[in-house]
Chains A and B, each alone.
Chain A
Amino acid sequence: MTGRESWSETAVFPFTALAGQDEAKLALALAVVCPALGGVLLRGEKGTAKSTLARGLAALLPEAGFPGGFVDLPLSVGEDRLAGCIDLEQAIAAGRIVCQPGLLARADGGVLYVDEINLLPDHITDMLLGAAANGRFRLEREGLSAEVPSRFLLVGSMNPEEGELRPQLLDRFGLCVDVAAIRDVAGRVVLLRDLEAFEADPRAFVAAGMQEREAFTRRLTRARKLFPAVDLTGPAREKIVAAAAEAACAGQRAEILLSRAARALAAWTNKPDADPADVADVAELVLRHRRRQLQPPEQQRQEQHADPEKNGHPDQAQASPSEAKPQDGAGRSPGSAPAKEPPNPDDNDPGQGKAESSKLKEEVFAVGEPFRLKPIRIRRDRIRRKAGSGRRALTTTLERQGRGVGARMAEEIRDLALDATLRAAAPHQPSRRKILPDGPAVRIRPCDLRERTREKRMGTLIVLVADASSSMGASRRMTEAKGAILSFLLDAYQKRDRIAFVAFRGSGAEVLLPPTGSPERAYRLLEALPTGGKTPLAHGLFTGYRLIETELRRHPSTIALLVVISDGRTNVPFRDGKPLAEALDMAERIGRDGRLKSIVVDTEPEHMNALGLAGQVADALHARHVKVEDLRADQLQQLFRTGRDEVAPFP
């Protein structure tokens, strides 16, 4: 049957038979050798056998003498089952309060595996973190009170495209592997053949790999025994300190983990001491997720910055006065005329010139340096918005949507939590049975009633609508605009907002990124975003607004923010009218929708002949109008500082 995974059959695809993925296999082996490493995170694109590896490992553990079991945590897990709760049957039948152990207790001494760990709800993640940090947790609920040991090896897998992992949780993982697909043809064919053979006859396939598997578990058992005696050589210690310093990791955690991992590797390779080579071999596993978060991919950035002459046009700032003579607001933007032929004087390679003029001029600009967004403006905006939407805030409590996350006592029960109610009533059953012998099977009193609490997606959605037309190519404005967008992405990431990205150019607008929690994807798209063509502003506004509408239909409690990055110029009619008039009309209609707030980030350079069109768009939208320069928190401070210096001479 198609649509079903061979590695998801009840028979588990053997760990040792999986082609490739050597680093992931090593990391998992090291974590089993030294569970104090805290766990392994498998990060990678979809379909790279991440969960196959984790589940394959689970099947090996008993043979490798690993004491604990394997707990597979479903994303829909409830607090009650994670931490444990009162045993309902015992409570009702006998009136005894007995604890039904949860998954954290069951994972004690074993492996706790979470697939798609980045999608785990926050309250579950918090409990997980607490237990992982202390090796135990305190159970306090429904008359139960216990200290429950919970030491486990945490194995998580995730696709970064679906959103990032919280830093605290990321830090819990001693080792991290970026899992990727096999890139050579022969390797992929081998994998396909293996999967085919496994699918056809799982039992025969497992039997065929038995020898390899036994060798692996023997090695694991031996390494586990050897590990406590493995020491570090002096040079290895030095190497550890140097590696941790180079990665600029805060605290001692990186050093401790490096030494554990290096010792585990030495044990795995049957050596009495870990030497610098062992440290070097494990350094990436330990450090890759500890380097500063959300650095745009190093290598790509360097490539972009390596040749600024080509990407941006640094000398345009001087050359621009002659070029910026706007004819009319709706007409051609000043940048688009010179953009037809490369404005960069260095750019007179004839071959390139020919290629460029033969088709639509298109360039990909580097992403400007991100900056810290001035926080107050947007913040205040949000608060006001919240205060103004009192009625909706009330309706959200009535919404019976979302994931049930717990239960509470309430004056008026709207959404009954049946399980919690029964648990509350359970211990009283024997006594109530005496008072009311002919009552129903379970005697429930009003004081038992519990209301379900649900996770409400009160998240913020930021929809970025950016001009990617050729007018943005002049004076490196696209680079600056990209920097502004990246800053929004970083800000959204820190505040755990969701973000969507629309770009307009040529004849229309396109949703480059549907609402997502993954700034990584957004960054990749931003970097690859080409600039060129006409400027269909109305299309951009329309597309951005439609995204917000869809989101509000699904999650009415979403706080939506439309950020338009544009100089307000437009030269493509939406229907048949004048482009600017149509764009302003569109803006006005959007402005009438009270469910969203807007900001216009004005990219028009400060100039004598500045048109101030973005200001008009902002007015129509009822939006805040900010110059792109003014977004910078640091630059604002600088402005204040120079201002004061100038004022200083006058006492």
Chain B
Amino acid sequence: MSAPWTWKRPSGDGKLRFEPGVLARANRGILYVDEVNLLDDHIVDALLDAAAMGVNTVEREGVSFTHPARFVLVGTMNPEEGELRPQLLDRFGLCVEVTGITDPGERVEVVKRLMAFEADPEAFMAAHAAEEKALGEKLAAARERVARVTVDDAELTAIARLSIALGVDGHRADLVMMRTAKALAALDDREVVIRDDLRRAAGLALPHRMRRKPFEAVGVDPEIVTSILGNAA
């Protein structure tokens, strides 16, 4: 993310040209940041700007340029190495805690698959091609369907009540829960959001938006969720 432009000799017209950076290349795609919590602050600022606006504006080193930068932000981090700034954390729609598998049988399966892949990557890919293709098609269909998915007032009310009861900052949690529930419904071949979509959406959208209190486990109080969304069917 240093100089945002290049000087191109071949054209010979003495004109400055903007050289797209990472944010421009991520447009309409996925921007993946490993160890997102270790990013330098000024990079995080640029990321926040772009993530908030859907455009990246470059106003430095003599360059004034704006380009679209709409991307799905995917970050990974190890919380032991430091936390993420709240403003950036909030930009992530969903948050998942990844833990190691503890079931011995499953662990063996993981190692087996890894070995199979390493031994013959092509054969392994071929063996899973059908599965991959099916998933891709399912995603494409869901993407097409999601615009038609509707949410009842009752479900929206539950979303709002949940956010208020849990004391989440701002409205982003509500919005993300609504969108996630719709996406889940679309993935499940439905065009109406049901209560179970909300329950799953809450689990993904809320954990990283909870306000921390000293010596209280961070996390969503399951009692509050159950009291508002009811028990899982």
Task: Give residues in A with beta carbon < 8 Å to B.
Answer: 1-6, 8-10, 44-49, 51, 72-78, 80-82, 85-86, 88-89, 92-93, 100, 103, 115-116, 119, 121, 159, 161-162, 181-186, 188-189, 191-193, 195-196, 200, 401-404, 418-419, 422-423, 440-442, 455, 457, 468, 503, 505-506, 510-512, 514-515, 525, 528-530, 547, 550-551, 554
Closest CB in chain A relative to B186 CB, distance in Å: 11
Taking a contact as CB atoms under 8 Å apart, the answer to whether B176 and A10 are in contact is: no
Please name the residue on chain B nearest to A94 by beta carbon: B14
Interface presence of B105 (CB below 8 A): no
CA–CA, A88 to B93, complex, Å? 42
**Known A76-B49, A192-B175; contact A45-B170, beta-carbon cutoff 8 A:** yes
Top 5 A-B residue pairs of the complex, sorted by shortest distance between their CB atoms: A47-B170, A78-B60, A47-B172, A188-B160, A81-B59
Taking a contact as CB atoms under 8 Å apart, the answer to whether B172 and A401 are in contact is: no
Contact of A3 among B92, B160, B178, B212 (CB under 8 A): B92
Please name the residue on chain B nearest to A82 by beta carbon: B59
Q: How many residues of B contact A (CB 8 A)?
A: 70
Taking a contact as CB atoms under 8 Å apart, the answer to whether A47 and B54 are in contact is: no
Taking a contact as CB atoms under 8 Å apart, the answer to whether B46 and A75 are in contact is: yes
Contact of A2 among B2, B9, B180 (CB under 8 A): B180
Taking a contact as CB atoms under 8 Å apart, the answer to whether B83 and A510 are in contact is: no
Contact of A80 among B61, B83, B175 (CB under 8 A): B61
Taking a contact as CB atoms under 8 Å apart, the answer to whether B214 and A503 are in contact is: yes
**Known A46-B169, A92-B14; contact A419-B62, beta-carbon cutoff 8 A:** yes
Taking a contact as CB atoms under 8 Å apart, the answer to whether B170 and A528 are in contact is: no
* Extra inter-chain contacts (10) besides given A183-B164, A402-B42, A529-B215, CB under 8 Å: A4-B72, A8-B52, A51-B52, A76-B42, A76-B58, A76-B59, A89-B14, A115-B52, A189-B156, A551-B82
CA–CA, A100 to B163, complex, Å? 48
Task: Give residues in B with beta carbon < 8 Å to A.
Answer: 2-3, 7, 9, 12, 14-16, 38, 40-42, 45-46, 48-49, 52-64, 68, 70, 72-73, 81-83, 85-87, 90-94, 147, 151, 153, 156-157, 159-161, 163-164, 169-176, 178-180, 183, 212-215
Closest CB in chain A relative to B106 CB, distance in Å: 28
Closest CB in chain B relative to A5 CB, distance in Å: 7
Neighbouring B residues of A49 by C-beta, 8 Å: 171
Please name the residue on chain B nearest to A515 by beta carbon: B82
Contact of A419 among B46, B53, B61, B64 (CB under 8 A): B61
Taking a contact as CB atoms under 8 Å apart, the answer to whether A418 and B45 are in contact is: no
Taking a contact as CB atoms under 8 Å apart, the answer to whether A5 and B212 are in contact is: no
Taking a contact as CB atoms under 8 Å apart, the answer to whether B160 and A192 are in contact is: yes
CA–CA, A92 to B59, complex, Å? 21
Taking a contact as CB atoms under 8 Å apart, the answer to whether B176 and A182 are in contact is: no
CA–CA, A78 to B176, complex, Å? 34
Taking a contact as CB atoms under 8 Å apart, the answer to whether B171 and A191 are in contact is: yes
**Known A4-B70, A189-B156; contact A48-B170, beta-carbon cutoff 8 A:** yes
Closest CB in chain A relative to B162 CB, distance in Å: 10
Give 10 A-B contacts (CB < 8 Å), ordered by A residue.
Answer: A2-B183, A46-B86, A46-B170, A47-B171, A76-B45, A89-B14, A89-B16, A184-B164, A188-B174, A403-B42
CA–CA, A89 to B63, complex, Å? 11
Neighbouring A residues of B38 by C-beta, 8 Å: 554
**Known A75-B46, A76-B59; contact A10-B85, beta-carbon cutoff 8 A:** no
Neighbouring B residues of A440 by C-beta, 8 Å: 9
CA–CA, A489 to B86, complex, Å? 19
Contact of A47 among B42, B153, B173, B178 (CB under 8 A): B173
Closest CB in chain B relative to A401 CB, distance in Å: 7
